[in-house]
Amino acid sequence: MTSRRNATDSTPATPPDHAEAPVYDFIVVGAGSAGCVLAGRLTEDAGVRVLVLEPGTDTAGLPEAVSDPPAWMSLGETPANWGDTTVPQLAGSLPPQSAPRVMLPRGKGLGGSSSINAMVFARGHRSGYDSWGEHGAKGWTFDDLLPYFQRTETTRGGAPGRGEAGPLTVAPMAEPNPIGLACLAGAVETGRRRATDISGGLEEGFAPVDLNIVDGRRQSAADAYLTPALGRPGLRVVTGATAHRLIFEGRRCVGVEYGVQGRVSRARAVREVVLTAGAIGSAQLLLRSGVGPGQELREAGVEVFHELPGVGRNLRDHPLLTLVHRTRRTVPPARGNHGEIIGLLRSVPELDGPDLQFIFVDIPFPNPEPPVDSGFSIGISPIRPYSRGTLRITSADPYARPVLDPGYFTDERDVRTTLHGIRVAREIARSSALAVWGPEEVAPGPEVTDAASLSVYARTAYTSYCHPVGTCALGEDESSVVDSALRVRGLEGLRVADGSVIPSIPSNNTNPTVYAIAERAAAFLREGA
């Protein structure tokens, strides 16, 4: 349901003169999932003026493949993805030649990552939110977020705690791929629980997961929240607009300087500037504006305006490892997102909640060499990782790439969790439910059984699950970047309202959590909280 009409403005109308800068109530930097929510919710008030700045294209400029659910894997090679890559990941003292540089896809264009992601819509288990208050944040438990989760969605089936009137229409595939159903049966056969609503946040086990697919087409944040608001007189969306820096008067953020096609403009906000550029973009803009760790800013040639050590720290992401299988029986072509069934399990019983996610993928992913003609994969992610890393900038140049080091598998506990996941995945693959498909493991291969070899596989064969968070973490202590109301600590008129504020990554594909954070931010802004 991606709109193909060009309903946005790609050329600013004002010169780069601060005195003549147009004035809005709110400036929203970034039109990804969170930015679309804020644009839609804030302009429900007809008297509110909102400017949204998005460096990517409008929906008309996005690839046609955006709308086709099975085609999402091709979008990483298009301009709809920023094309970020991490520094070499040296976990476990890997030799430099073995250390992978990991692609870290993120969306560029209206809808942001919701326009290129795998469309999984799951909250993660409620226990994954329990640690959000460790740095003093108040009011951010799962139960606190629940009304905002509900506000985002329209679901079917009446499961406890689900929404019934939100902009996003979410549901499992009506007819999942048969190979996924066989994997689900294999999971149950080997003693794992069959959940009823794995997307809602209250259950562990395996089940078909909710997806952002409506009538066979992707539903992005732009489709659900932004497009219905584009005709409102208070909303202006400027695409192709890269935010260069924030403008301050004293300690108050009063506007944004941005560039479009080589021309620099400024806009003023009489109420607030809200950063919704994601875990990478929002932290980058703060750092370019002189807000962050002082020594790092000076090394990058940026004048320190407000020392805030937590900016760019605490970068967290989910790594995803797959066991790839060839099948004798041909797997039917995908109609959904390739991964229609997930599972949440504990690697050890004494944990307070699941720390492993499994996803059954109806193709060989990634396809090894020589390629597999017909097969499937079982994806494994340590979904509550201990490992964390950093984001840095090297200059104030707004077009320079960030230095991204997520630190995957630098904490040995994540390796141990993943090895348990491999054991479970192999049990499922050997189940009688899958026997009719004749599965044969081709990566890492049945001969790879010892812990040392599997650990090397875990540390070198993974990809990003594309869930970076944490670089502007929520809390009330000195390590926090935003307070419990999402206000940047020590400054006025400036908030962050996207995945960067997530202090501890929950056990889900994080897009639904970002939607809920943005819904809550909209409530804060409308109420003046």
Comparing CA positions, the residue from 155, 157, 193, 81 lying closest to residue 512 is: 155
Residue keyed to tokens 């141990």: 416
Query: How crowded is residue 262: how many other Cβ atoms within 10 Å of its Cβ?
Result: 5
CA gap 22, 12 in Å, rounded: 10
Are 135 and 503 a contacting pair, CB within 8 Å? Answer: yes
Contact 114, 32 (CB under 8 A): yes
Dihedral (CA of 482, 488, 493, 495) sign: negative
| Interacting residues of 52 by C-beta distance below 8 A, sequence separation 6+ | 27, 28, 31, 35, 38, 39, 235, 236, 237, 238
Quick one: 170 exposed, middle or buried, by C-beta within 10 A (0-12, 13-18, 19+)? buried
CB 207 within 8 A of CB 198: yes
Burial class (CB in 10 A: 0-12, 13-18, 19+), 328: exposed
Residues assigned a catalytic role = 467
Six-digit token pair at 5?
């009409």
Query: At what angle are helices 511-527 and 33-42 packed, to 10 degrees?
Result: 30
